[in-house]
Amino acid sequence: MSLETVAEKGLVLLGCGKMGGAMLAGWLKGGLPPSSVWVLDPHPSDWLKGTGVHLNDGLPDSPAVAIVAVKPQMMGEALPGLRALGNSTTVFLSIAAGTPISAFEAAFGAQSPIIRGMPNTPAAVGRGITAIVGNPHVGEAGMDLAEALLSAVGQVARIETEDQMDAVTGVSGSGPAYVFHLIETLAAAGVAQGLPEDLAMQLAKATVAGAGALAEGTDETPTQLRINVTSPNGTTQAALNVLMDADSGFPALLPRAVEAATKRSKELANG
pTM for the predicted model, two decimal places: 0.91
pLDDT for 221 beyond 70: yes
Please check whether residues 102 and 214 belong to one and the same domain: no
What digits encode the pLDDT tens for the residues 41-90?
988 999 999 999 999 988 998 999 999 999 877 888 888 889 999 999 99
In a domain, 157, yes or no: yes
Numbered residues of the known binding site for NADPH: 56
Cα separation of 72 and 4, whole Å? 30
Please check whether residues 115 and 246 belong to one and the same domain: no
Numbered residues of the known binding site for NADP(+): 14-19, 69-72
Task: Return phi, psi of residue 79, to 5°.
Answer: -65, -35
In a domain, 200, yes or no: yes
Residue 1, pLDDT score: 59
Strand-strand pairing, 54-55 and 65-68: unpaired
Please check whether residues 125 and 32 belong to one and the same domain: yes
In a domain, 170, yes or no: no
Task: Return phi, psi of residue 13, to 5°.
Answer: -120, 110
Please check whether residues 87 and 136 belong to one and the same domain: yes
Question: Which domain range does residue 69 map to?
Answer: 3-162
Please check whether residues 9 and 133 belong to one and the same domain: yes
Longest alpha-carbon distance in the chain? 68
Please check whether residues 118 and 180 belong to one and the same domain: no
In a domain, 92, yes or no: yes
Cα separation of 91 and 255, whole Å? 35
In a domain, 168, yes or no: no
Sign of the Cα torsion 122, 128, 131, 134 reads: positive
Please check whether residues 36 and 92 belong to one and the same domain: yes
How many domains would you assign to the chain?
A: 2
Please check whether residues 26 and 150 belong to one and the same domain: yes
Please check whether residues 118 and 247 belong to one and the same domain: no
Cα separation of 271 and 34, whole Å? 37
Please check whether residues 80 and 33 belong to one and the same domain: yes
Helix axes 175-192, 197-217, angle to 10 degrees: 140
pLDDT for 254 beyond 90: yes
Please check whether residues 150 and 117 belong to one and the same domain: yes
CB atoms within 10 A of CB 107: 20
Please name every residue paired with 91 in a beta bridge, in sequence order, or none if there are none. Answer: 65
Q: Residue range 209-217: average pLDDT?
A: 96
Numbered residues of the known binding site: 14-19, 56, 69-72
In a domain, 100, yes or no: yes
In a domain, 167, yes or no: no
pLDDT for 219 beyond 70: yes
